[in-house]
Amino acid sequence: MKIAYLMYSTREYDELIETINQLIRQGDHVFIMINDNDLRGKIHFVYAEDRRVHISETQEFAQEGDMSLARGTIIQMKEALEYDEYDYFINLTDGMMPIKPRSEIIAFLKEHEGKDFYHIARTEKEDPQLRKKALKYYTFTNLLSFPTGAFVRWFTKANASFLNVFGLRRKLNDTIMIGSPWFMLSKESAKKIVAEFNYVSANFKLSWYPEEMYIPMMMEKFAPDAAKAHINEDYRVVGPDGAWVESQCARDLTREVLAAHPEALFGGRILAQGDTLSLYNDYFDKYNEGYVRSKESIEKEERMIDPDIFNTNRKK
């Protein structure tokens, strides 16, 4: 079984290198949007000859809360489908990593082979206010400061309500759904989503956190049979309480929270709490735990460019 990991990142160079190396070691591929131009160039250079790393160029930038993340993720799926055969497509937003060995994740996916995993928290049938929120135009979501700027977020909501009073709202007839932005989609479902790429641009431009809506809504509309059979869990642990919180990113968590969610396959960034070496051993190396590399694999990694070439603090 082969996985295509769909990523976007604003992470530091060393952490991003470590993440990519862990994900590709056993043959899985990474499709990644890198927001920083300088960092993108460095990653291009390091992995120039590695066919497992695909740096997004059709759309290079993405951020949470904006259509760019939903649109960019679908483009990644499209490019992955054109490049090779993958059994599952798994998105990992900034700071997220596997917290189980690959062997366990593959065994889990094989147990439910062909099923899709995404979490729907509620629909407009239970919460009529959800439609009012979804139909508004949030004109400042694509500002770089939108995910973190309290004033920008307040002003964006205020402006959306102002436009709504004058009848400037999107026309969306499908049932509004909202849930976790993370998913594990089968190859067949990914194909159906990719084929309807225009749906995102037509319905979620200037939307508030479209990444929490577009997958369940597109699955319901374009893959109804798979949607009915999907498993309503995303198997991620994020944030101080371990659970996804609406309109928030994958916040930092502690090892205690991680231990309280043994069912999770992936987790957000774990707080080091001064013990970075132990964190790397327990967290970054988890995905390849028990994997014995072949002689050819070791030789190939030894031929790779040393990532430390870009470390300006390195001793001469």
CATH of the domain at 69: 3.90.550
pLDDT at 300 over 70: no
What integer pLDDT is reported at residue 286 of this predicted model? 86
Separation CA 156–CA 68 (nearest Å) = 17
Q: How many domains does the chain have?
A: 1
pLDDT tens track for 45-65: 999 989 999 999 998 889 999
pLDDT band at 284 (very low <50, low <70, confident <90, very high): confident
| Residue 310 confidence class, pLDDT cut points 50, 70, 90 | low
CA–CA dist 124, 272 (Å, integer): 40
Is the pLDDT confidence value at 295 over 90?
no
**Residue 24 to residue 267: CA distance in whole angstroms:** 18
What does the radius of gyration of the chain's CA atoms come to, in whole angstroms? 20
Query: How much is the pLDDT for 112?
Result: 96
Which of the pair, 152 or 295, is modelled with greater confidence?
A: 152
Alpha helices, DSSP H only, in 142-204? 150-165, 187-195, 198-204
| Band (277; pLDDT cuts 50, 70, 90) | low
The number of residues in the chain equals 316
- The tokens describing 105, both together, are 């994740």
Q: Where are the strands (E) in 238-313, listed by range?
A: 266-267
| pLDDT(249) > 80 | no
Q: How many CA atoms lie within 13 A of 235 on its CB side?
A: 21
Residue 54: CB atoms within 10 Å? 20
Residue 184 has pLDDT above 50, yes or no: yes
Cα–Cα distance for residue pair 153/151, rounded to 1 Å: 5
Residue 314 lies in a domain: no
Task: Give pLDDT, residue 308.
Answer: 62
Q: What pLDDT, on a 0 to 100 scale, did the predictor assign at position 255?
A: 83
**Phi, psi dihedral angles at 234 (to 5 degrees):** -110, -10
Residue 150 has what pLDDT? 92
pLDDT of amino acid 316: 43
SS3 state of residue 3: strand
Whether the CB-CB separation of 266 and 152 falls below 8 Å is answered with: no
Distances in Å between the alpha carbon of 250 and those of 26, 53, 239? Answer: 26, 23, 6
Instruction: Indicate whether 310 belongs to any domain.
Output: no
Flag whether 195 is in a domain.
Answer: yes
In-domain check, residue 299: yes
What's the rounded Cα separation, in Å, for the pair 38 and 13?
Answer: 10
Distance, in Å, from the CA atom of 92 to the CA atom of 95, rounded to the nearest integer, reads: 8
* 140 found inside a domain: no
Tell me the two tokens of residue 172. 């969306």
Q: Does some domain include residue 309?
A: no
Overall average pLDDT of the 199-227 stretch: 96
**Where does the pLDDT of residue 299 fall: very low under 50, low under 70, confident under 90, or very high at 90 and above?**
low
For the segment 90-114, what is each residue's pLDDT rounded down to a tens digit?
999 887 889 999 999 999 999 999 9
Could you tell me the pTM of the whole model? 0.91
Beta strands in 193-288 (DSSP E): 236-237, 266-267
| pLDDT for the residue 275 | 57
| Domain with 107 in it | 3-126+172-303
Q: Mean pLDDT, the chain, as a whole number?
A: 89
Residue 258 lies in a domain: yes
Using the 8-state DSSP alphabet, how is residue 280 labeled?
I
Residue 289 has pLDDT above 70, yes or no: yes
State yes or no: pLDDT of 304 exceeds 60: no
pLDDT for the residue 194: 97
Q: Identify which has the larger pLDDT, 240 or 3.
A: 3
| 282 in any annotated domain | yes
Question: Are the CB atoms for 32 and 19 separated by under 8 Å?
Answer: no
